Amino acid sequence: MKRLFLVGALLCAMLIPAASASAAPTGEFAVFAQCPTEKNLFLCIYNKTTSGTVTTGKKAVPIKNPVILQGGVEVNESTGATQFYGAKNGVTLSKAAQPVPGGLLGVVAPTWWPKFIQDWFNGLINEGFTGVTATVELARPATEVKVDLNALLSELNDPTIIMPVKIKLDNPILGSSCYMGSSASPIYWKLTVGETSPPAPNKPIKGFVGEPETNEDGSILRLSKQRLVDNSFAAPATSGCGGIFSFLVDPLVSSVVGVPSPAGTNTAILEGKMETGYAPSVKASDP
């Protein structure tokens, strides 16, 4: 029944005539302000993650600060293939820093480090520079994000959203270039609303398409309490931590986080609300 509701909502949206275009969507369409409607889109997407957990290696980081994924999806009428385009303002995935439980608390410099580096590192730790935040960023252009509408609307186990990401670790000691993953070698999240099939030791976990609701004419579909999951990805070692001392600090940070960690030992659970808007209606909303 839910599948029929979701598919029916989008079919109804396709029948809605488009009015004259406006500079920016308004009213109930305002949430899609950054949808790139200059493209020949089918849907605008605004996904807000408000809770969940990202676990890499030994560190589980709860999502405390909302993360926004936004853009639009073009559908090839002949093949059914989809193409995602990022937000007009370039902020396709918002950079929301999440506090890492425990931070660097209890970490001390290895005794084999040169004495002056030990003193520098331990001095900073003792001054209270132990808090660490983790921020998920897109590692590749937004056009490399994949959105499978069929997997979403049919509740299949196939990936609903595939994102190439990297995770930035921030701390005065770690510097501004401390990452897990990179643009050249991203972490690929294959998020599903269905059930995962991870390698051991992880066990399958289930996502949830969300509780559906449409506006009056069916041009907006809201999926509240949505749950996107992936526990099949690998997490690489950290790199770039500690600036000029990264050759020393990277192994230490990697050991604290527990990376590299192979596929089947990491998990991403993203919970929140997805809103999709029929793109011609979004573009045509009156100011």
pLDDT tens track for 170-199: 988 888 899 999 999 999 999 999 999 999
The predicted-structure confidence for 239-280, as pLDDT tens digits, reads as follows 999 888 899 899 989 988 999 999 999 999 999 999 999 999
User: pLDDT tens across 121-143, in order?
Assistant: 777 765 667 788 999 999 999 99
Q: Express each pLDDT in 82-129 by its tens digit.
A: 999 999 999 999 999 999 887 777 677 788 888 888 887 777 765 667
Give the global pTM: 0.86
Which H, E and C letters describe the chain, residue by residue?
CHHHHHHHHHHHHHCCCCCCCCCCCCHHHHHHCCCCCCCCCCEEEEEEEEEEEEEECCEEEECCCCEEEEEEEEECCCCCCEEEEECCCCCCECCCCEECCCCCCCCCCCCCCCHHHHHHHHHHHHCCCCCCEEEEEECCCHHHCEECHHHHHCCCCCCCEEEEEEEEEEECCCECCCEECCCCCCEEEEEECCECCCCCCCCCCECECCEEEECCCCCEEEEEEEEEEECCCCECCEECCCHHHHHHHHHHHHHHHCCCECCCCCEEEEEEEEEEEEHHHHHHCCC
